[in-house]
Structure 1
Amino acid sequence: MLAAMPDSAPSPLSAGGASPRDGGAAGASPRAGGDACPGTLRLHRADDGALARVRIPGGVLSADQAEALLTAAARFGDGELHLTSRGNVQLRGLGTECGGELAALLTDAGLLPSAAHERARNIVASPLAGLDGSPSVGRWLTELDHLVCSSPAAATLSGRFLFALDDGRGDVDALGADVTLIAEGPSGAAALLRIGVADEVFRVPAADAPRAALLAAEEFLRAARESGAWRVKDLPEDVRAKLVGSIGSAAPGPAVPRPRPRTATPPAPGLHGAALTADVPLGRLTPAQWRLLTDTARRYGGELRLTPWRGIVIPGPVPQPEAADALRTLSESGLITAPDSPWTGVGACIGHPGCAKSLSDVRAEAGAAVGPPGRLPVYWSGCERRCGHPHGEWIDVVVTPDGHRISHVRGERRDLPTTVRNDPARLAATVAEARA
């Protein structure tokens, strides 16, 4: 098993410490003052009110927890729930004085186990893990979340730092997390540990994988002390290489070549074995849609899984004779339940008027431009920040003072863009052609 790296100076990076409830931190991070990533205790002020981002490790919610989120949205915000590209939930339109009551409600629902770690609980997981013949990552998820909440050092992780738990299919491995665990083999008897976007991995015993992931994150904190990096990719190249080397020196065996998938493949909406999957247009759920999903989950097992592609999986099992009717009901509510929906692969940031930095109402523009399903996903951004954009290969639509700039993105590569000015019909046609 990986062990904490020795250091000549006292290190805060040893695992263990505070309980999940008290969540005490061992000293302040030198980056803490600049990390403006919102949470549930640190609200973000937006043009449509305050915003809270509720971390949902692995996207896994019980029906009771989903009900609590709906109550919070109705009591403190605009009533709607917004899914993020990390399988979390954002509440918008909040009053600036609601923080204490919101925190109490979420704590009672088990959604805020540690005040000190609430923004560090960024964990994505393969949403179909264990449902379609792939290994389950549920035990890893539960243990890693507990370890993060018990680590004083982990409380200083940036709200942008990301863990990923991949069942071996490569879907969340492609998201470029800072620390990724990959189940190896059909039963997940072994685990692969990837640091950042390195194209090699280290084998670790499956039982030790969550602790290995935590210790890798703690080792990153040590490496980031001087540079102030938020994420592994932000480290200077030489420091990043030393980080991977130091973690590798503590692994049971040498590095194993395994290139990271460059494009994430989300689960297609519809039926997967006995599980239902529905995508959410632009990640925005009305109270009626959220309640329908919650009620459906209660009927079939009591669990929902939010995906990093703004979708929802109901693991079930859903009896085969009832599946078609359940999907039809979800579709009638406005959710995407078939891959041939015009909305499949269409995403957008919150845009104007919710965000002051946005140059237009990109959600309305994305809706107006929806056409036949495209081969590639498309993401509309109201400014150059591109909040919540996808990974891998996609069509990037960015509003600029000169018009809408459309480009084809392939990982780190970007084709020469086309700019469309003040012509909605041409804009829709150009986006459709780029996606084809």
Structure 2
Amino acid sequence: MLAAMPPPASSPSAPGENSPRTRGDACPGSLRLHRADDGALARVRLPGGIVTAEQADVLGELAAELGEGDIHLTSRGNAQLRALPADCGGELALRLGESGLLPSARHERVRNLVASPLSGLDGRGNADVGPWLAELDALLCASERAVALSGRFLFALDDGRGDVDALGADVTLLARRDGDVLLRVGGAADAVRVPGAQAAGAALVAAETFLDSAPDAGTWRIAELPDGPEVLLAQVVRKLGAPRTPAPARPGEAAVPGTGVVTGGASGAAALSVGAPLGRVTAAQWRLLADTARGAGDGTLRLTPWRGVVVPGVAPERAAVLLGALGAAGLVTGPDSPWSGVGACIGRPGCAKSLSDVRALAAAAVGAAPGPAGALPVYWSGCARRCGHPHGDWVDVVATPDGHEVSVVHGDSRTSPVAVTERALPAAVTAARA
């Protein structure tokens, strides 16, 4: 049997803080589960959010047989199973491995790759990042050095539209129109320019160079390097023998995929883009998504870092009807949904650190006063850790020991938090989103 439970998670250092952690990285995965108040939690990493319909079936079966039945989407496009028994690690690993969801047990927590979810589907990007994604995942799983990466180290593959570039990954590949790629290392002012065919290898070089540069095993991300990212960038430039160039400004807000029918791809096929209320996909919704991908799409689903799902490869003449069926099942299919832009952590009773049942409060607020057209995203957090919060501009609702506070985040700044009673939360959140 494989070990399933980790030690309690330690708090991460602030960016740039040079103080070694006293505990190892306890980021959960498929083999090392996390203790939550509602049972064990497994995080199944899906590079680029891509899962086949058959693999989706396996995830749904595991959720139903071992857990609560639902699939929880994460801010990195992964899937989580909750309320699992503490001793399920061996069975979970066996079935995930048989389905191809666990290609390397030693690397399963370092396969943290997000990718532009509409790449190749709408004609907007500079390149289809799919080949880079497959190659980088294979290179990671073949690298003995990469095993030492923390479960928080993040790769982003952006097709040029600026969606996943905005997520602040440790290593970012940014497609250019001329076929080259800009390799961004943390928040360095410059980038490395490499041919598209070398993109995946260059990303791995950057990650392995980070491991060689980290002062201790408690340095998990590039932002935590005591010398900052510039020294690391210079080392990567030397290793690659590639030119450095000023990096474009990182988008302050991600170009989040809209919900609805997606068209414009070179293949002529359409895609369906839907959201999951609070990132939770019920068992029935998950089966419908898998069946739609298998029967009407190209056989795959793409989970997005914004807790949505894309079904590629749909015949344009069937797209509207299929989207309607997904909407009837309770998924978000358009900007007019009251759930559009609403997110929350798991809150009580699932998390012991949460001070509030923020999901129930979010649902009550949606029912009382849905967000206006063009409203800012809102994220409800059960404690000051704000697990899974969005990037860019958003309304921050956080539970405190004394109640709840509401503020508006604009990039790296925020308005002064305002204490709000539970009764007044719906009106306060609606006003802040506008």
Q: TM-score, normalised to structure 1's length? A: 0.90
Residue in 1 that maps onto 2:348: 352
Aligned AA for 1:115? A
Aligned AA for 1:184? R
CA shift at 1:228, angstroms?
2.8
How many residue pairs get matched?
Answer: 401
CA shift at 1:240, angstroms?
2.6
Residue in 2 that maps onto 1:114: 104
CA shift at 1:31, angstroms?
6.8
Does structure 2 retain, via aligned residues, the 8 Å contact 1:402–1:421? no
Please give the alpha-carbon distance, in whole angstroms, between the structure 1 residues aligned to 2:381 and 2:58: 30
Residue in 2 that maps onto 1:326: 322
User: Alpha-carbon deviations, 1:279-331, whole Å to 9, x = none?
Assistant: 00001011100000000000221010000000000011x22221111111000
Tell me the secondary structure at the aligned position of residue 315 of structure 1: strand
Task: State which of 279, 282, 291 in structure 2 corresponds to 1:295.
Answer: 291
CA shift at 1:227, angstroms?
7.4
Q: TM-score, normalised to structure 2's length? A: 0.90
Aligned AA for 2:219? A
Please give the alpha-carbon distance, in whole angstroms, between the structure 1 residues aligned to 2:325 and 2:190: 45
Task: Sort the Cα spacing of 1:52 and 1:399 in 2 relative to 1 into closer, same or farther, 3 A.
Answer: same
Please give the alpha-carbon distance, in whole angstroms, between the structure 2 residues aligned to 1:78 and 1:308: 22
Please give the alpha-carbon distance, in whole angstroms, between the structure 1 residues aligned to 2:22 and 2:103: 21
CA shift at 1:248, angstroms?
2.6
Task: State which of 138, 146, 151 in structure 1 corresponds to 2:138.
Answer: 146
Please give the alpha-carbon distance, in whole angstroms, between the structure 1 residues aligned to 2:70 and 2:323: 22
CA shift at 1:198, angstroms?
2.7
Aligned AA for 1:137? V
Residue in 2 that maps onto 1:55: 45
Residue in 1 that maps onto 2:308: 311
User: Alpha-carbon deviations, 1:65-109, whole Å to 9, x = none?
Assistant: 111111111121111110000000000010011100100000011
Does structure 1 retain, via aligned residues, the 8 Å contact 2:277–2:331? yes
Please give the alpha-carbon distance, in whole angstroms, between the structure 2 residues aligned to 1:226 and 1:353: 36
User: Tell me, which stretches of 5 or more residues in structure 1 are unaligned?
Assistant: 1-29
Does structure 2 retain, via aligned residues, the 8 Å contact 1:379–1:397? yes
Aligned AA for 2:371? P
Task: Sort the Cα spacing of 1:398 and 1:251 in 2 relative to 1 into closer, same or farther, 3 A.
Answer: farther
Please give the alpha-carbon distance, in whole angstroms, between the structure 1 residues aligned to 2:103 and 2:23: 23
1:157 equivalent in alignment to 2:149: yes
Tell me the secondary structure at the aligned position of residue 352 of structure 2: coil
Aligned residues: CA RMSD = 1.4
Aligned AA for 1:413? S
* Misfit runs of 4+, over 3 Å: 30-33
Please give the alpha-carbon distance, in whole angstroms, between the structure 2 residues aligned to 1:313 and 1:422: 35
CA shift at 1:147, angstroms?
0.5
User: Tell me, which stretches of 5 or more residues in structure 2 are unaligned?
Assistant: 1-19, 264-269
Does structure 2 retain, via aligned residues, the 8 Å contact 1:223–1:239? no
1:268 equivalent in alignment to 2:258: yes
Does structure 2 retain, via aligned residues, the 8 Å contact 1:32–1:156? no
Matches within 5 A, 1:115-130: 115-130=105-120
Residue in 2 that maps onto 1:372: 371
Aligned AA for 1:132? D
Task: State which of 237, 242, 245 in structure 1 corresponds to 2:234.
Answer: 245
CA shift at 1:32, angstroms?
9.7
CA shift at 1:199, angstroms?
3.7
Residue in 1 that maps onto 2:432: 434
Please give the alpha-carbon distance, in whole angstroms, between the structure 2 residues aligned to 1:410 and 1:309: 18
Please give the alpha-carbon distance, in whole angstroms, between the structure 1 residues aligned to 2:108 and 2:280: 23
Does structure 2 retain, via aligned residues, the 8 Å contact 1:349–1:380? yes
User: Alpha-carbon deviations, 1:97-140, whole Å to 9, x = none?
Assistant: 11001000000110001111100000000000011113211110
CA shift at 1:241, angstroms?
2.2
CA shift at 1:410, angstroms?
1.6
